[in-house]
A and B are shown apart, each in its own frame.
Chain A
Amino acid sequence: MSPIALDIAIHLAKIALIFFVVLTLAAYLVFAERRILAWIQDRKGPNRVGPFGLLQPLADLIKLLTKEDFRPAGADKWLFYLAPAMAAIPAILTFAVIPFGAPLQLFGREVPLQVADLNVGLLFFLALSSIAVYGVALGGWASNSKYALLGSIRGLAQLISYELSMGLSLVPTVMLAGSLRLSDIVGAQEGIWFIVYQPLAFAIFLISIAAECKRIPFDIPEAEGELVAGFHTEYSGMRFGLFFVGEYINIIVLGGLATTFFLGGWHGPWLPPFAWFSVKTLAFAFFFIWMRGTLPRLRYDQLMHLGWKVLTPLALVNILVTGWILMLR
């Protein structure tokens, strides 16, 4: 095989692997969430389909696929149909820049376990997470329903305020690593993880990604108690499923990014690199589920208050302090 063909084959294999693993993981994350929430609430959770309920995601998939795909009267047809994809695709695209393992030696060449090692990987992630907002905004707008519209307005306001503190909290890691390339950021953490230098930035990033993937306590765009289901109120069947799966892919991806930026990526003793990456990423996923079982939803103005008046200034101060210390060194 010529080198170029081999290159393409390896890339396609990696893309297929990521698609398969991330989608399966997202489906099982839904299941895990239901089980863990049930345990937290002293229940058992879905345990009927297959051993320990392990086939539940499959049953859910069949159910969603066979449901009616309903479009409300007066909805904007194309936007309504496109919005779920716009929410799910950027989420999984972000995974392209995450290094999920140490480079392998295959066919006499070095294969990085990362689809695209962009030199602006971090910016790529920030850009895609902004695009994902369009799914929420347009989905709510196109539904021709007040609940959906309110949900999408909230979603927009929330994501604008959190994108800022999320971006700012990542600046110190870039300063420490001296690169926007994700593999360099991981490489810079071979000895000590950035969470040790940057606990504050990590905390801000953690809060921001919880808001980014619209999880409790920041699930204001879909607030069931007030807005029925927020921006996806009018969606049914597999389109609703896409929004849903997009949210869970987002959890995995953002967990992976938090691992990459602050927890040393795939670095770690004893276990193989890929295992370390998975363990750390899933730990984040578990933490989000755990948080959902614990915290109530913030009020809209409390969220704005936290985002604009606390997290953003803190992140700015953190950047200044980091820069100062780096200069003195």
Chain B
Amino acid sequence: MRAEKNEMELKFDAISENEAFARIAVAAFVTHLNPTMEELADIKTAVSEAVTNSIIHGYENWQKDALPRGLSGEKSSEVPLIWIKCRLERNILHIIVEDKGMGIADIEKAMEPLYTTKPEMGRSGMGFSFMEAFMDDVEVESVVGEGTIVRMTKKIGLDSWIADGE
């Protein structure tokens, strides 16, 4: 029998090594629902986008500061954190990716395709577009100087999808 509700939380250092960890952990959390390969790939891409954004945009000031401090011989500042919360309600997956970084001043503009504040870093401005294309719903909440919360929802699992139609 399938549980009505299932939850998990992750808290990890905002470093690029953890991008793969985060998307694989979320994918693993939903495997018991028998998601299709396509659904798994969609979830992984969306999680990767949100987590990468927290690292390169949310905590960009930390990355700038960290180097000189380390070089001057002092103990470098603590690595900032990213939180992921997942909740399964039957076959609906809710994902929250949260950082306490610099925040987004104009969310509407940030979500436009091809809009990026980091073209020099080789970014394409497609992250939010992929989250929106591959998930059923994406909502962004952000306060400048406090942080950003990305909420995503996706219905998954072919067998439960068929069961729904009955």
Chains A and B belong together in one complex: no
